[in-house]
Amino acid sequence: MAYEHIKLAVADGVATLTLCREPLNVLNIAMMKEMNQALDTLSPAGLKVLLIQAEGKAFSAGVDVGEHLGDQVHDMIEVFHGIFRRMEKLGVVTVASVQGAALGGGCELAAYCDLVVASAKAKFGQPEILVGVFPPVAALVFPRQMGYKKALELIVTGDVIGAEEAKAIGLVNQVVAPEELAEATQTLVGKLVGLSGLVLSLTKKAVVRGLMDEKEQGLQLIEKIYLDELMPTADAEEGLRAFLDKRKPQWTEK
């Protein structure tokens, strides 16, 4: 199947999904629908690894802010979170190869992957709070990966951190020189491909169950807060419109 904003290749037990909406790989609804369509074509049978990578200078600068407004936000959340639900259902080990900025939804996409290899030039951050909203998927996975205090700090400050700090707090597994990213990613994937696919998937399942981690239930609760309590507020509307208008938001809730 031909896609406009992504590429999908499957070979030797590895499905490689490449973001190619340059320069920043901003995730609009059309692109995310393609990602969901691509994931729907995959079967865990014979698949050991899902690798997510990107072309261009950024891994992804996040979800299109303009598609957060009005009724569109419901469609946006459905297709965006559909990516993670499909990744979860697939059940194989997921790897993100991050060459540049991973911000907002782009950071959430990388963080949701089981393993992350990053270029030393990569940056990670959730700046949603600066435009009057919060990142639902980061709210789900950050505390599990780095603990409550650091997770909340990154989410409520919107700070952007470098690859080495991301590694230090558990967001990234490996940091390499930019020119070594492709090789390092393939080395990691190669280790996984050399193992039993069934054992890999059961091992991942056991680790997740060992955490007593009901991500679907958690995501549903977070979605309800986001859509039913946050998005109807004046400040959410103001923050998003201010970003699009390139001006400082004027908050009404003190």
Query: Which residues form the catalytic set?
Result: 108, 128
State how far the alpha carbon of 67 is from the alpha carbons of 29, 42, 62, 138, in Å: 8, 27, 11, 19
Strands 101-103 vs 58-60: parallel, antiparallel or unpaired: parallel
Please name the helix (run of DSSP H) or strand (run of DSSP E) that holds residue 40, with its range, or none: helix 29-40
Q: How many CB atoms lie within 10 A of CB 203?
A: 13
Report the C-alpha gap between 39 and 36 in whole angstroms: 5
CA atoms 36, 38, 43, 46: torsion sign = negative
Which of 235, 31, 28 is CA-nearest to residue 129? 235
Three-state DSSP class for residue 51? strand
Report the C-alpha gap between 187 and 172 in whole angstroms: 16
State how far the alpha carbon of 186 is from the alpha carbons of 87, 134, 210, in Å: 20, 34, 28
Three-state DSSP class for residue 102? strand
